[in-house]
Amino acid sequence: MHACIGAEKMVAICNERLRLANYTISVVFLKILISCNIVAGAGFGESAAAAQVPAMFAFGDSLIDVGNNNFISSFARSNYYPYGIDFRGGPSGRFTNGRTSIDMLGNLLGLPYAPAFADPNTKGNRILRGVNYASAAAGILDETGRHYGDRYSLSRQVLNFESTLNQLRTMMGGTNLTQYLAKSIAVLEFGSNDYINNYLIPPFYNSSYTYSPPAFANLLLNRYATQILALHSLGLRKFMLVGIGPLGCIPNQRASGRAQPGRCVDNVNQILGSFNQGLRSLVTQLNSNHPGAIFVYGNAYGAFGDILNNPASYGFTVIDRACCGIGRNQGQITCLPFAVPCSNRNQYMFWDAFHPTEAANAVLAWRAFNGPPSDSYPINVQQMSLL
């Protein structure tokens, strides 16, 4: 039972983490076991299953970064142990102990791991199944995360996609490229840093002095919509737009002293409501205005909230502190090089001060792929792949 990728790893996730109330455990176990076998039975990052889409292109921040920041001048890096302690390739620049949610979502679609755009080896045939542009500390706003040094903001990631597109044009004819892009899936996961590395740290940024929470959310959504439409104009037609999770519940925020013992920082979570509600409304508007495309809202807040409210249902026993970190809630200082992490990582929701464990990422990937409209609106990723 526990030999999917060595010691009690992914089968435990299959069997314990990915149970959803509206699916029987047998269906969930079968689907995720297939994903486990894909990774265990194929080469590094390769998929043994038939791909359901030509490619997946990922845009976002450290939640789905697979190593882009390794190649730029940034303090926001995770290419050291114990990051990657449960990943087949070891430390890779992923901000978790194992795979990210985007890795698992790709596996479920039958795709190999999308390589980091900034890796010099990401060229030629390696780009045909998709590319990952996500960058730790990146935000919707260009200035977000600047105190960490260089990073690829949303607008820069769109430009980087154009660079990939120029390569693809030399590899396939115009008609084939148009069909390839229309069938591929773009996943965008932004917004968290615009709050925790901008709006919520006024000593470094003045945005909270300038904008009320609703006005700041509106600013983010307007900038976001512009870049989403830019990607649409370049030929992409299938979009998964992931909302922001309950940031007030991450160890970093719990350790701030602004929350009562055992509680999240409620006012932080409340601030996020305007953005998430606005993003869902934006999805409805985009679908109405662009009938040849499909836009999906991923309810990360609801998925994380379900784990926080029902941890035992997913096999979690620790939801309020990090597996690797220092200080209150192991969240005051994030996971440092060669720190000793917890041994029971599959029972922890959070890996470090900011990021989920592989086990929590598995829940998010599964719910995005096969969840009901409350998780993925108006359809899920599996349904979108069939269009």
| 141's tokens | 């706003």
Q: Say how many Å lie between the first and final Cα of the chain, rounded.
A: 35
Is position 355 annotated as part of the catalytic site? yes
Contact assessment for residue 198 and residue 207, using Cβ atoms and an 8 Å cutoff: yes
Q: What span, in angstroms and rounded, lies between the C-alpha atoms of 146 and 142?
A: 8
Q: Which residues pair with 294 in a beta bridge?
A: 238
Selected catalytic residue, list 61, 65, 355, 376: 355
| 138's tokens | 């990146």
Selected catalytic residue, list 352, 375, 376, 385: 352
Whether omega for the bond prior to residue 112 falls within 30 degrees of 0, making it cis, is: no
Q: What span, in angstroms and rounded, lies between the C-alpha atoms of 353 and 339?
A: 13
Selected catalytic residue, list 62, 153, 274, 385: 62
How many degrees, rounded to 5, is the angle at CA 93 between CA 92 and CA 95?
115
Sign of the four-CA dihedral 312, 87, 161, 156 = positive
| 20's tokens | 């959803």
How many H-runs (helices) and E-runs (strands) does the chain carry?
Answer: 13, 9
What DSSP designation does 115 have?
P
Contact assessment for residue 165 and residue 55, using Cβ atoms and an 8 Å cutoff: no
DSSP-derived secondary structure for 259-307: S-TT---HHHHHHHHHHHHHHHHHHHHHHHH-TTSEEEEE-HHHHHHHH
- List phi, psi (to 5°) of 114: -75, 130
Is position 62 annotated as part of the catalytic site? yes
Contact assessment for residue 136 and residue 129, using Cβ atoms and an 8 Å cutoff: no
Which active-site residues does the annotation give?
Answer: 62, 352, 355
